[in-house]
Structures are given as C-alpha cells and as structure tokens.
Amino acid sequence: MSGVAAAAVATAAASGATVSAAGRRVCFLTDTEGSWTYNESNDSNETLQLRDDCVLVFGGDAGDKGDDTLRCFEQLVRLKKRHPERVVLLVGNRDVNKMRLTSELADSELPLHAMAREVRDGPLWVPQDKRVTLDTFLARQAAQDASATAASAAFAANTESADADAALLAAANTKVNRLKWMLEHTMGAQGDFERRRKELAARTARRSLTPEVTASAATATGAVAADITTSDAVCTTDAADAIDDESVLQSYKDSVREGGVLREYLELGSLAFIAHDTLFTHGGVIRGDSSGVCALGHVPGRPPMSEWVQELNAWYRQQVQEWIEQPTWSADRSHRGGDQLLQYVLPDHPSSVVMGRHLQASGMPAQLPSAVAQALAASGIRRLVVGHTPHGTCPTVIKQSWPQQTPAWSHDAHAAERDSARTFEEVIMCDTSYSDTAASDNRGVAAVELVVTPDGRAHLHGVLADGRTVAYASDDPLIGRELRDGTQVKAKLRTGGGGGGSGSGPTAT
C-alpha cells in the first residue's frame, strides 16, 4: 500500500470514530494560526501529547498567519489519528477556504476570460473602494516586474481603462501570482506566501542538519552543537534561496490533494461538539448584537441541540466529500464541490457557527439574545466555548443575565420542568491571537488553557503577555461581571489574588 493510500485509510478510520468525553477533562485550544510556539508555551515537546484522562478540542484556524502552518496541521492530524476517540478538530474559516485552491488554481481557470466572474472581481464582502480585483493585482505585478516597460507602469496607474494592454495582464497571469492574490486579498492571509517559503526552507535545513553542519553552525554562533536549532541552520545554510516561487505554489497545491495534510484535516474535521453541558464551535452562534440572527438550527432544521450538532457535522462531511469528488468548477462555472460550505465560512454569512461573533460594535462582549440562551438551556447546554474573534490577552467570559424561560419552539416537551435546574450561564471566547501586538507573532508569551471538567466547571490558567500568571474558574462570581464604569473583569491573578478590569477596549486585562 502506498503512503498516500495508507494515509487515506488512517484518515477514514479516524474520521469515523466517535469522540467520548465521559469521565474525562476536555481541553480547548484554538486559533494557532500557524504559530507552533503558541503550542510550545504549554508543551515544549516536538510532538503533541495527550494525557489519558483528557479530550482535546481544537477550535479551528490552524494555519495562515505564522511561520509553522504545515507543522500545526501535521501535529493536529497526527494526534487525531493516534487518538481518534479523544480528539476533536473543529474547522475555522481559514481552514475551509483553502478548498478553493483546487478550483481556482486549476489549469482550466488560468485564462482570464474563462474564470468565474465572482472570483475575478474579488470578494464582495470587502467594500468596493478597498477591494483589489485580480486584474488590478496582476497589473501591479506587471508594473513591479524588472522587465516591465513604461507602458506597464501607465497601465498599473489606470487599471480600469478600457485600453489596458491585455498582453501585460497575460504575462503576469501565472498561478504563482494567482495564489499570491488569493492569500493577500481574498483569504486574509497577508504575507503567508513568504512565510510558507520560510517554513519550506526550515524543512530543507532540517533535512541537511548533519553533525558536520551542526558543528559548523555552533562554531559560527558560539553555541553548543546540541543546542543548534533548525532556524539556526536556516541562517547558516541560507536554505531560503533554494525555495523558488513554484515550490511554494506546489506546497499549497499538495496540501489539498489526496494525502495532503490540509485535506486530511478537513476530512477529520467537524463544525461543532458537545461535552459536559458545553457547546464548542469555532465562531459562535450570533452575529454580535444583531437581534434575531442566530446560527442554531441552520443548515439542518431545529431539533434538540445534540441532534442538530450531529446533523450539522453530517452536512459538513457531505460537503467535504462533494469537494473531493468535484474539486474544480463545473463547465459553466456555476458550481464546484463544497460550494455551500465555502459560502458558509464567508464573512457575510448571517447564520454560521464558523463566522459567528460575540462582540458588540464597540468591541465589548455581547450576551446572547434571551431566546438563544433559552434554546441552549432547554437542551441542557449551559456554556458556549468559541474562538475566531481575538479579544485581549486572555479568554473573555461573558456571563448571561437572568432570568431565562423555555422558548415555545424548543421542541422539548419536558424542558419547562427543567428550567429551574438548567440555565445557560456563559460564553467563553478563547482566541488570544492578538495578545501582544508588540511581539513579532502578535502573541508574545501569552497562553491560557481552558479545561472543562466532568462536573461541568470551566477552569482557566496560564500566562499573560506581561508574564503574570492567572488561574480561575469561570464560575467565580467576579469573572465576567461588568463594573460601574462599564469595564468588565476578565481574569484573576495567581499571585496577589486580584481581578483585572478590561477597560473600555477589548485588549487590556
């Protein structure tokens, strides 16, 4: 059996496993966004390890904005295959949108006149005055080329002119430039093309990290040979020079082919998971403070929450399989496999658990609408844990106000009898990817772990951007409470025992 075939068998087996959290702690990690050092803040081992009494729920967005996207995906996929019944891989928008690569980088899409218009014109959710169309991007690339003529510069200055030279566009219309445009202007992955080059260079250096090279690097840096890292080898061997644009392009294409790590992640993924009275999703179930807009029940109907999650995940798997079977556009460019899922993760989708946000327009936390909280409570859900929306240097706990009553549309005939015992309590937002904007990775040393224990309590502990440590349970009466000045308490310091108010903005603790 070939390596690709063996990987496919392992992926299929892992994707069919049922995850059980009974009697186990559930640990939540989310939005690593290509930053492996974020994982190492909690575990310095090269390979992720999972304790026997734990279930890991990864909240999605494994790659894109850090130097280790491939490594993040590989480690998570490897862990899922090793412990299929104890690892949940939720998908984020940054994971799912890479499904576009198989259709938009296909040979059939290279002629500009043949492209799907919705792709060529750029993302419609971006305001028109800020949107960069493919034609505009290619024109700029042509002007920047060392062999560009004065005519190309004039063309770049007036990209909307009907007299624009089509030959200049054709010269710049390569798959490499297509990919750069997709990453920069349609996927929110600015700079990721060069970061992938850097990661590939590091891998090249690792393969060449012989004892002789290590000793040479140690001599050059004054370090002990055993301490030389891959990054040191990159500097010493200058491996990045060997990674050309086509190699970077090929890496992206390979990642979504059969046996590719991103495709495997998507095959193993889910949209939602329930354990210990807690619903886990990537983004959430509401769109800020927009009244009446909720993701619950959308895609499949509105049955009890556990059945809805099962049906939502089944729909997700069906969409991924459709993409695998039809990875490119139909002949008339009206459809491609997984199209509904790709639409589901767009910023303007009104009812997506991937794109939900739990912030007001001001940036302050938004409580759930009463009817949504009631629906969750009626199904025994008292907590929602999400990622997706960066919010400060540690997770944000949003306490839900009382009282709540069972909505008439909950389809739970006995829910009213349990209202007094089951109340939705809180949303916990765990994306801290902008915890330290002064750091090169926007994270710095900040890392906080969320653990939900079998008794249903949520515990948080870790390190803030300034090095202070925090440890608290979400049911602490002060956590998540709004103070008289409008600030909210976010965390409890391990030393000193104080709580921190968040200030009027979303970043300070």
Q: What is the pLDDT of residues 251-303, one digit of tens each?
A: 999 999 999 999 999 999 999 999 999 999 999 999 876 656 788 888 776 66
Q: What's the pLDDT tens digit per position in 117-131?
A: 889 999 988 999 999
- Can you give the pLDDT at residue 471? 95
The residue type at 459: H
Q: What's the pLDDT tens digit per position in 14-28?
A: 676 789 899 999 999
- Can you give the pLDDT at residue 4? 62
Of the two residues 355 and 502, the one the predictor is more confident about is: 355
d(Cα 276, Cα 97) in Å, to the nearest integer? 30
Of the two residues 327 and 146, the one the predictor is more confident about is: 327
- Can you give the pLDDT at residue 501? 44
Range picked from 191-195, 286-290, 443-447, 485-489 for highest mean pLDDT: 191-195
Six token digits for residue 113: 């006149």
**Of 193-197, 347-351, 415-419, which range is least confident?**
415-419
Strands of 469-473's sheet, edge to edge? Answer: 269-270, 87-90, 54-58, 25-29, 447-452, 458-463, 469-473
d(Cα 319, Cα 269) in Å, to the nearest integer? 12
Q: C-alpha angle with apex 266: 260 to 271, nearest 5 degrees?
A: 170
d(Cα 380, Cα 415) in Å, to the nearest integer? 9
- Can you give the pLDDT at residue 169? 80
- Can you give the pLDDT at residue 165? 65
Mean pLDDT of 454-469: 94
Six token digits for residue 193: 């093309």
d(Cα 86, Cα 99) in Å, to the nearest integer? 26
d(Cα 407, Cα 234) in Å, to the nearest integer? 60
Q: Which residues of 330-356 are buried (b: 16+ CB within 10 A; e: fewer)?
A: eeebeebbbbebbebbbeebebbbbbb
Burial of 417 (0-12, 13-18, 19+ CB in 10 A): exposed
- Can you give the pLDDT at residue 296? 87
Specify whether the backbone of 54 is left (phi greater than 0), alpha (psi in -120 to 50) or beta. beta
The residue type at 41: S
What percentage of the chain exceeds 90 in pLDDT? 55
Mean pLDDT of 302-323: 93
d(Cα 344, Cα 324) in Å, to the nearest integer? 17
Give counts: helices (H), strands (E), the chain: 19, 14
- Can you give the pLDDT at residue 495? 67
- Can you give the pLDDT at residue 361? 83
DSSP letter string, 246-300: HHHHHHHHHHTSTT-HHHHHHHHEESEEEETTEEEESS-SBBTT-TT-B-TT-SS
Instruction: With CA atoms as reference, report the closest residue to 386 among 28, 135, 20, 99.
Output: 28
DSSP letter string, 465-477: TTS-EEEEETTST
- In 30-81, DSSP assigns E strands to 54-58
Burial of 432 (0-12, 13-18, 19+ CB in 10 A): buried
- What does the chain come to in residues? 509
- Can you give the pLDDT at residue 492? 94
- Can you give the pLDDT at residue 160? 53
Residue 430 in this model has a pLDDT that exceeds 80: yes
- Can you give the pLDDT at residue 360? 86
Burial of 291 (0-12, 13-18, 19+ CB in 10 A): exposed
What is the DSSP secondary structure assignment for residue 140, as one 8-state letter?
H
**Of 60-74, 371-385, 481-495, which range is least confident?**
481-495
Q: In which band, very low, low, confident or very high, does the pLDDT at 46 lie, cut at 50, 70 and 90?
A: low
**Distance, first Cα to last Cα, the chain:** 53
Q: Which residues of 175-211 are buried (b: 16+ CB within 10 A; e: fewer)?
A: bbbbbbbbbbbbbebeebbebbbbbbbbbbbeeebee
Mean pLDDT of the chain: 83
